[in-house]
Amino acid sequence: MVKPNQRKMNRKLKWIIITLVSIIGLALAGYAMIIYFGSQIVDEDALILAQTTTIETADGEVIAELYQENRDYIPLDEIPKHVQDAYIAIEDRRFYEHAGIDIKSVTRAVYKDIIAMSKVEGASTITQQLVKNLFLYNDKTWTRKAKEAAAAIYLERKLSKEEILELYLNEIYFGHGIYGIEKAANFYFSKHASELSIGEGALLAGMAKAPNGYSPINHPEKALERRNIVLAAMEHAGMISIETKQAEQGKTLGLQLEEAANTPWIDSYLDLVIKEAQEKSQLPIEQLRRGGYRIIVGMEDDVQQTAYEMFTKDDYFPGNTSGAEGAFVMMDQDTGKIIAAIGGRDYTFGDLNRVTVNRQPGSTFKPLAVYGPALMQEGTFTPYSLLPDEKAVNGNYPVANVDDTYQKVVSMYDSLVTSKNVPAVWLLDRIGIPYAKSYLEKLDMHIEDEDLAIALGGLYEGVTPLNLVEAYRTFAKEGNFIKAYTIEEIYDYNDTRIYKHKSEEKEVFTPQVAWDMTEMLRKAVESMPEAAGTYSKALAGKTGTTQHPLVENEVKDAWFVGYTPEYVMAAWTGYDESDADHYLTGGSIYPTRFIQDILTEIDKLHPLAEKFEKPDTVEALAEPVRIAPVTNVQANYVWGGISLVQGKISWDPLDDERAIYRIYEERDGIDKRIAEVEGESEYMIEHALFKHKKYYVVTYDPFTKLESERSETVILN
């Protein structure tokens, strides 16, 4: 039988056990609640810190940065131990001992808060600071502190101490728009975080409490004092010796501020890069500004800067008032990468990028909409085909040449070189607008126009400089079309490649047509006046102007689109809004000179090709013989020949040694052609003595089958 005392003891023990279990249960429940509430506060996505995206050239030069917070994330093992120690010494000496909150510090802070009857002292650990910066507002309230503690405890369970410290050192703000230890080292000392000295690390650690208040730039005395406090804390914690502390405290701040980049010439190109990243890689600007991507682009910095500087010169922009604008784009002929792009004069990021603005292309459209497609009708048209050149009305479309002069007929070659309007419109009417537009579609130019104005670039919406560069590339590259691009590769914040550009070519014109167009466009440039530029190496291209709609005989748009064996480029000048008060006072000679001048500058940087190399698979295209009336025709007798005396017809030869001369005997009815000689300036006639016959000479072009007007008539007496 159990004694009363024993029963009493058992009941007491039972209640003790129940109480202990309850306490433990409540503690566990409370802890679980803390963990739960902490998990609700911690946003997993926020643990991936916003990082700076860099735009780099192929050789690794960083040309621009995009960021929401200017940060370069680095792993903890790249941050020196003495830098880590500096933060722990001044911010959270028991960092490696607590589980998110420091009870001793909390007790001290609570005591002071109670005495003051308000929240006056913080006791935040590094983990709590990280939580506050990532997930909470920076207000001093008991509610916020409770949330901070719960989230800190949860975070300590989720991450290791090393992971927490790494996040903290990469997240922390250092003033002047700088986030993270790596960017801070770059900005204040022009070095990597891995190269920071003890004193430099202490200076940066001291800024954690008040980055603006302890800025070594704005408040050097306070920053120096704070640095020395950190060094003393490190020595007190046994992290450095007293000798090291004293040596470091005796040093100056030692700032080596990173030189601020001022690269306005990049903005136009950067605009194209961001748009391309959004279109091709589905990376919106917000993601680019926080994703820490590395974007490799095709820009050539020296060419881009040269173009930008040239755009500051008024000489290339002949407007009747200030504000004449321009656009320029240059593409690598082989790959399609854009190596330079200028969207306007004094362009800043976010402005209208005129590289991608539609304009009426004027005569630059003739090769694309008329001559190229016509030559694709093999057996119907060749560069030597004769086209009507008389002022006329084609359908309901009246057309005249710019100089209002006409030759009755002209070869396609000469029509293109001299930019005649009448033959171009006639030819478009002949091949058909739907047929011509089918080639424009292949060139990725989708126009709604359905009239003959297409031949002269008189489009309703127009095309962009970038469109024209892509299209002209077909002539430069054996008839193959390729889309222009800026981005070569994109790497994510782990340096994993997530995008690589792949070019896809498609044939639009045959290699023969492309070569024929190149030869004609080369001659078009060669025939330009010296005022259009003096670039002496290989260049083919076409000018274009459009008539101002409100001001008679003045220019609205002026163009040059052309290519070398290396590059394809387009330049446009004009006004954004062409009202009666804004017009160009000069034409296409100005963008042409701009192109020739920039090629001259590029040639100084790296020599460009002297000539276009004909592909082995195509036939050469000879320039038409420039036929002209033969002058100074004379008839004489000379000794020699079978008949002892011969008749001699002589004349002054043309400069073109390929010229063929036809000698005619004048007769009643149909004159008789008695001879045809090439490159000669005389012809001998046997048995001509005392016959008193009349002769004349013409020049003949074997390519176009045209004869010149007849020379004066001579008589052998």
Helix (H) or strand (E) holding 633: strand 631-639
- 224-242 pLDDT tens trace: 999 999 999 999 999 999 9
**Axis-axis angle for helices 220-236, 242-249 (nearest 10):** 180
Residue 120: predicted pLDDT? 39
Residue 116: predicted pLDDT? 47
* Cα 75 from Cα 88, distance rounded (Å): 17
Higher pLDDT among residues 76 and 99, named by residue: 76
pLDDT band, very low/low/confident/very high, at 7 (cuts 50, 70, 90): low
pLDDT of 396 over the 80 cut: no
Residue 299, number of CB atoms within 10 A of its CB: 28
| Mean pLDDT of all residues in 482-511 | 95
pLDDT band, very low/low/confident/very high, at 60 (cuts 50, 70, 90): very high
Name the maximum alpha-carbon separation found in the chain: 174
- 280-328 pLDDT tens trace: 888 888 889 889 999 999 999 999 999 999 999 999 999 989 899 999 9
Is residue 279 part of the annotated active site? The answer reads no
Nearest to 84 by CA among 161, 175, 6: 161
- Cα–chain-centroid distance for residue 549? 32
| Mean pLDDT of all residues in 505-509 | 97
Least trusted range by pLDDT, from 124-128, 213-217, 524-528: 124-128
**Axis-axis angle for helices 126-135, 81-91 (nearest 10):** 90
Least trusted range by pLDDT, from 101-110, 145-154, 533-542, 596-605: 101-110
pLDDT band, very low/low/confident/very high, at 42 (cuts 50, 70, 90): low
Ramachandran class of 387: left when φ > 0, alpha when ψ lies in -120 to 50, beta otherwise? beta
- 606-648 pLDDT tens trace: 999 999 999 999 999 988 888 889 999 999 888 877 767 888 9
Least trusted range by pLDDT, from 212-216, 458-462, 467-471, 550-554: 550-554
Nearest to 402 by CA among 369, 424, 373: 424
- Cα–chain-centroid distance for residue 585? 30
Nearest to 469 by CA among 270, 329, 271, 298: 329
| Residue in the block written with tokens 């020296």 | 302
* Cα 441 from Cα 392, distance rounded (Å): 29
Residue 115: predicted pLDDT? 55
3-class SS at 314? helix
- 345-372 pLDDT tens trace: 989 888 999 999 999 999 999 999 999 9
- 148-167 pLDDT tens trace: 776 777 777 888 999 989 99
**Axis-axis angle for helices 181-189, 161-171 (nearest 10):** 40
| Mean pLDDT of all residues in 479-505 | 95
Beta bridge partners of 637: 647
Residue 129: predicted pLDDT? 85
* Cα 394 from Cα 399, distance rounded (Å): 7
Residue 107: predicted pLDDT? 60
3-class SS at 387? strand
Are 698 and 709 in contact by the 8 Å Cβ rule? The answer is yes
Residue 558: is it exposed, middle or buried by C-beta count within 10 angstroms (0-12/13-18/19+)? Answer: buried
Rounded to whole angstroms, what are the CA distances from 488 to 328, 338, 679? 21, 10, 54
Is residue 411 part of the annotated active site? The answer reads no
- 183-201 pLDDT tens trace: 999 999 999 999 999 999 9
* Cα 181 from Cα 194, distance rounded (Å): 10
3-state SS of the chain: helix, strand, coil percent to 5?
A: 40, 20, 40
Higher pLDDT among residues 704 and 80, named by residue: 80
pLDDT band, very low/low/confident/very high, at 138 (cuts 50, 70, 90): low
* Cα 235 from Cα 434, distance rounded (Å): 85
Q: What percentage of the chain has pLDDT greater than the value 70?
A: 88
> Among residues 363, 411, 415, 588, which one is catalytic?
363
Q: What percentage of the chain has pLDDT greater than the value 90?
A: 66
Rounded to whole angstroms, what are the CA distances from 551 to 109, 224, 329? 80, 68, 29
Q: How much is the mean pLDDT over the chain? A: 89
* Cα 66 from Cα 293, distance rounded (Å): 9
Residue 314, number of CB atoms within 10 A of its CB: 10
pLDDT of 388 over the 70 cut: yes
Paired tokens of 278: 């959004």
Choose from 118-132, 135-149, 448-462 the range with maximum mean pLDDT.
Answer: 448-462
pTM, 2 dp: 0.84
Beta bridge partners of 545: 558
Nearest to 157 by CA among 123, 124, 131, 122: 131
78-81 long-range contacts, Cβ below 8 Å, gap at least 24?
Answer: 78/182, 78/192, 78/193, 78/194, 79/166, 79/169, 79/181, 79/193, 79/194, 80/193, 80/194, 80/196, 80/201
Residue 247, number of CB atoms within 10 A of its CB: 14
Residue 45: predicted pLDDT? 65
What is the 3-class SS of 103-150, one letter each residue? HHHHHHHHHHHHHHCCCCCCCCCHHHHHHHHHHCCCCCCHHHHHHHHH
